[in-house]
Amino acid sequence: MATVRFENVVKRYPNGFEAVTDLDLDVDDGELLVVVGPSGCGKSTTLRMLAGLEDISEGKIWIGDRCVNGVEARKRNIAMVFQSYALYPHLTVAGNLAYPLKVAGMDKTEREQRVRDVAATLRLTELLDRKPRMLSGGQRQRVAMGRAMVRQPEVFLMDEPLSNLDAKLRVQMRAEVSELQRKLKATMFYVTHDQVEAMTMGDRVAVMNLGVLQQVASPTELYNKPANVFVAGFIGSPPMNRIDATIRRSDDQVLAASGTADITALSPDLASIADLAGHGQFVLGVRPEHVTLTSSGEGLPARVRLVEHLGSEQILHVEVDDMQLFQPEGNEDVDDDGSTHRLIINVRDDTVVVNTGDTLHLTVEGRHLHVFDGTTGERVSP
């Protein structure tokens, strides 16, 4: 296997649109790196540049110690697995697995042995004589992966390979791909729009938005210390609540406001937050599972607008009068249906009974508050 390195890589189209901007990113030998972000963030373009399917406008891409700028895709010793299985319907599983080796001119005996080895690894041995139409979605995806594996590439490129599977099978295949990658000690560059997929599979996760790399870190670090407001809102399900706020000191008291709402009662630890944030506008972030429901009269009052029962947990949508949540750039004109001042709360205590219309009181411990600069969106808290 090999390392991968992007050095100041830019992808700019003839019309001037910049799909990827000044990308610096390293993938370690044997690492499963997941690149995640919303549609149009540049993740698939990045993968296609690595594969040699897109020319780069500036910078360098390295596979191992070789700069592959200008190297044809077929000479990069990479293998791709796509969202569509792209299997040959007229060939059996064995024929599909063997096809890239046959094209490469490999001896028949060696080719058949390679196919048997890969089939055994992927639990496809009993299916070698079947054609794709006789396989389930998960089996077809394993065949597509096997066709990449038989080539023994330096790097595996995975372009949303599980998107066509149903929810239950996707969970199963996530585990299978992760286990296979560790067994092979393969270098894998995995692109997805699904942040749950990214967090459960990646050794590290790279988050992109609007062509710019936002943060690269382990799943745990991404969750606990998002680098900016975008990462905070993108990583986590349900997403982090982000509250536009100001904090000021008055007569030895610390006061917090959001919109025209006084939210001082939200946290008993605002003094330390004030020291951290200083003066001016900033964004308070709190994950839904870190909001505590308190007895009446303590904490910030809020009305329950919706309760989602998920068995082991309840997702509450609560409204605080006149409070203003952070609105991503470009969303300023969205009609206000109440979502701009609703918080999401994840209740995992099955003894708590909450109904639509109830009034709750909310608090958050200071250690669970994230603070972001209101102008730059960058993380302020350590």
Q: What are phi and psi of 101, to 5 degrees?
A: -75, -35
Angle at 13 between CA 8 and CA 19, to 5 degrees: 55
CATH number at residue 359: 2.40.50.140
So what's the pLDDT on residue 301?
93
* Separation of alpha carbons 34 and 46, rounded Å: 12
Helix, strand, or coil here: 160? coil
Instruction: Specify whether the CB–CB gap between 85 and 141 falls below 8 A.
Output: yes
For helices 93-103 and 108-121, angle between their N-to-C axes, nearest 10 degrees: 130
Note the pLDDT of residue 277: 64
Name the domain boundary from 218, 233, 248: 233
Final residue of a structural domain among 233, 266, 290: 233
**pLDDT score for 255:** 87
Q: How far apart are the first and last CA of the chain?
A: 36
How far is the C-alpha of 194 from the C-alpha of 38, rounded, in Å? 8
Task: Enter the DSSP assignment of 97.
Answer: H
CB of 151 closer than 8 Å to CB of 80: no
Evaluate whether 75 touches 154 at the Cβ level (below 8 Å): no
**Pairing of β 32-36 and β 204-209:** parallel
Per-residue pLDDT of the chain (382 residues; tens, 9 = 90+): 789 999 999 999 999 999 999 999 999 999 999 999 999 999 999 999 999 999 999 999 999 999 999 899 989 999 888 877 788 999 999 999 999 888 888 899 999 999 998 898 888 999 999 999 999 888 888 898 888 888 888 999 999 888 877 888 888 888 888 888 888 888 999 999 998 999 999 999 999 999 999 999 999 999 999 999 999 999 998 899 999 998 887 777 888 899 899 999 999 888 777 776 666 788 999 999 999 998 777 899 999 999 999 888 999 999 998 999 988 765 544 444 445 678 999 999 888 889 999 999 999 998 999 999 888 999 987 7
Looking at the 3D structure of the chain, how many domains does it have? 2
What per-residue confidence (pLDDT) applies to 29?
95
Residues 168, 21 within the same domain: yes
Show the domain range for 307. Answer: 235-373
Same domain, 111 and 191: yes
- pLDDT value of residue 170: 83
Last residue within a domain, chosen from 233, 253, 268? 233
Rounded to whole angstroms, what are the CA distances from 336 to 273, 324, 325, 377?
29, 11, 11, 22
The answer as to whether 382 is a domain residue is no
Instruction: Check: CB of residue 147 under 8 Å from CB of residue 97.
Output: yes
